[in-house]
Structure 1
Amino acid sequence: MPRRIELEVLATIDRGDTISELATKLDHSESYLSRGVGDLVEKGLVYTERDGRRKRVVPSDSRAVELYQDFVRQHSHIDFPELLTGKALQVLYFLDEPRTVAEIAEQSDNYRNTVNRVLKRFRDRGLVGVDDGRYDFNADFDRLHKFARQFTHHLHRQRLEAVASKGTILWENYDEFLAQTETEIDANGFHETGLSRFAAFDLQFLLTDHRYYVYSDEPDTLSPAELCCHTLLVDDSSRYRSYCLLLLSHVNVDEDDIRTQATKYDLEDEIIALLRYLETHGDVTDDRLPEWDEFQKLAAEYEIET
């Protein structure tokens, strides 16, 4: 997430400012300012151009930069570089609707005290209000949530493009994303997922040319529940649901884990339907699930008991 100096540069920069001019505007040394600009270049939020012996700094066309600069111009009395440091963007990311401190803490994986401190800063400046224990934005400050989402998406795109020239983000949250690529990725944080990983459970399927990776700081051992959710995010068709049913029938899946993962990926209805299907031996009404006798034949092909 951005440091204060980076947010100060983004808030201040006019197209074509030099390092020296920015240092003067922000009252920082040129060396300190240069390091901040370097970090922004690495994130793809600004780029530099040579003008003789001078280096000019130009904001990128990222939607996140546009939203941030527009907001700073409209609310120049608010010190956004100070306000949006630390865990602020993470809290904003999950404030997509009125939420309690406990809800934000759970979704963002933070302590309640941390979320409370951030929300107090926002409330003291009139950005949010609270009603019946739920925090929500005042006036047009809900655009801060859009900025947090765009900023996070931009960083995810940068991270993906650094290791795969052609890639598509299929799902994302604050610190994770699921991507489809045409090439193999061998980089820290990227863990292969989807049907190819079913082989670890002795389930071999005909694969497409695409590869699927989840980016996460978590260990690279993906649970069957996670694999199932990732597969449904890739393709929610009847065929892929049948593959997930095979996996759920074949391995011991912790029901609490799969329900937790379903909530994380917003797949509660889909996962409940799969679990209900197996519990009732197909006694559900869902066009995207096979008839029970068809599934039994498929399971027999893979030597799986149903």
Structure 2
Amino acid sequence: MLRRIELEVLATVDRGDIISELAMKLDHSESYLSRGVGDLAEKRLVYTERDGRRKRVVPSDARAVERYQDLVRQYPHIDFPELLTGKALEVLYYLDQPRTVAEIADQSDNYRNTVNRVLKRFRDRGLVGADNGRYDFNADFDRLHEFARQLTHHLHRQRLETVAQKGTILWEDYDEFLAQTETEIDIEAFHETGLAQFAAFDLQFLLTDHRYYFYSEELDILSPADLCCHTLLIDDSSRYRSYCLLLLRLVDVDEDDLREQAAKYGLEDEIDALLRYLETHGDVTDDRLLEWDEFQKLAAEYEIET
């Protein structure tokens, strides 16, 4: 996410530092440091200003920068740039509560050995501790998790704004996010989702003016399980739940995959309610689900057997 040189600059830069002076302070060549500053400027974590022939570097007012610089000022003896390289920020992102190595590895999709190495680095410095196999932050070092979250959100916002100026992030994790926009996005890794994609299964619904995209560099195509979960994140109303039920009844969705996706998005209860509704023919107490006879009529309109 951030290279060591970028973390070093963020840890050191004050308002209006000159690049040549920063290079001397950090013991790097001016050209190397300039590349790091350029990368940070592209991410809008710093800005550069011309002062005659010199270039000054100004930290942005992004919350991630503020969190990080507060930590550096409070604990100047800790080499945060060295600690936060590699997979460290990703591991810290998922340490929002006491978790085992296996839980963090599953959530971050990393090997357990990788997570172990990162946590050992922080444990050796006294920043995290373990109790019954669950790791948690010591003292107020949970701000490292806040920094990882704030930085991730900032970078997601920057990525979205480069392709859609008016956009809202509805859900996110370390390397993926779901966004609402007012314009079409035709860029690789942005996958259109929501009700618009139900048309691929011959389910045509009245759409709003908004469009919805799921950003992921890992996915090639969205599965019905993805579409169902994204739709509930977009709108968990009775109408949208009914549309998801139509999709689940129409398509042979793997239940294990659906439940796995539900856990990823924090929708375990919602998906469980939909599955039980279909299994019991509506014998579920939930105000956001139609009476079974009403759902049967809706399904008949789309020629779907119930």
Same fold by TM-score greater than 0.5: yes
Query: Which structure 2 residues correspond to residues 1-306 of structure 1 after superposition, within 5 A?
Result: 1-306=1-306
TM-superposed CA distance for 1:219, in Å, is 2.8
State how far apart, in whole Å, the 2-side matches of 1:94 and 1:15 are.
32
1:21-68 superposed Cα distances (whole Å, 9 cap, x missing partner): 100110100000000000001111001111111111100110000000
State how far apart, in whole Å, the 2-side matches of 1:215 and 1:268 are.
22
State how far apart, in whole Å, the 1-side matches of 2:252 and 2:44 are.
44
1:248-282 superposed Cα distances (whole Å, 9 cap, x missing partner): 00000000100000000000000000000000000
Residue type at the aligned position of 2:235: D
State how far apart, in whole Å, the 2-side matches of 1:131 and 1:268 are.
27
State how far apart, in whole Å, the 2-side matches of 1:285 and 1:135 are.
38
State how far apart, in whole Å, the 1-side matches of 2:177 and 2:123 are.
30
TM-superposed CA distance for 1:215, in Å, is 0.2
Residue type at the aligned position of 1:143: R
TM-superposed CA distance for 1:170, in Å, is 0.1
TM-superposed CA distance for 1:221, in Å, is 1.1
State how far apart, in whole Å, the 1-side matches of 2:210 and 2:39 are.
32
State how far apart, in whole Å, the 1-side matches of 2:18 and 2:287 are.
61
State how far apart, in whole Å, the 1-side matches of 2:219 and 2:90 are.
21
How many residue pairs align between the two structures?
Answer: 306
State how far apart, in whole Å, the 2-side matches of 1:284 and 1:14 are.
59
Residue type at the aligned position of 2:49: E
State how far apart, in whole Å, the 1-side matches of 2:57 and 2:154 are.
19
TM-superposed CA distance for 1:283, in Å, is 0.5
TM-superposed CA distance for 1:244, in Å, is 0.2
State how far apart, in whole Å, the 2-side matches of 1:288 and 1:219 are.
31
1:120-152 superposed Cα distances (whole Å, 9 cap, x missing partner): 000000000011011010000011000000000
1:44 alignment partner, SS class:
coil
1:208 alignment partner, SS class:
coil
Q: Which runs of 5+ in 2 are unaligned?
A: none
| Deviation beyond 2 Å, 4+ runs, structure 1 | none
State how far apart, in whole Å, the 2-side matches of 1:259 and 1:122 are.
33
State how far apart, in whole Å, the 1-side matches of 2:131 and 2:170 are.
34
State how far apart, in whole Å, the 2-side matches of 1:190 and 1:54 are.
39
2:55 alignment partner, SS class:
strand
State how far apart, in whole Å, the 2-side matches of 1:227 and 1:21 are.
51
TM-superposed CA distance for 1:220, in Å, is 3.1
State how far apart, in whole Å, the 1-side matches of 2:188 and 2:16 are.
35
**Coordinate RMSD, CA, aligned:** 0.5
2:32 alignment partner, SS class:
helix
State how far apart, in whole Å, the 2-side matches of 1:198 and 1:140 are.
46
TM-superposed CA distance for 1:218, in Å, is 2.0
Identity %: 86
TM-superposed CA distance for 1:187, in Å, is 1.0
State how far apart, in whole Å, the 1-side matches of 2:75 and 2:19 are.
25
Q: Which runs of 5+ in 1 are unaligned?
A: none
1:230 alignment partner, SS class:
helix
Residue type at the aligned position of 1:269: D
Residue type at the aligned position of 2:239: R
State how far apart, in whole Å, the 2-side matches of 1:255 and 1:284 are.
18
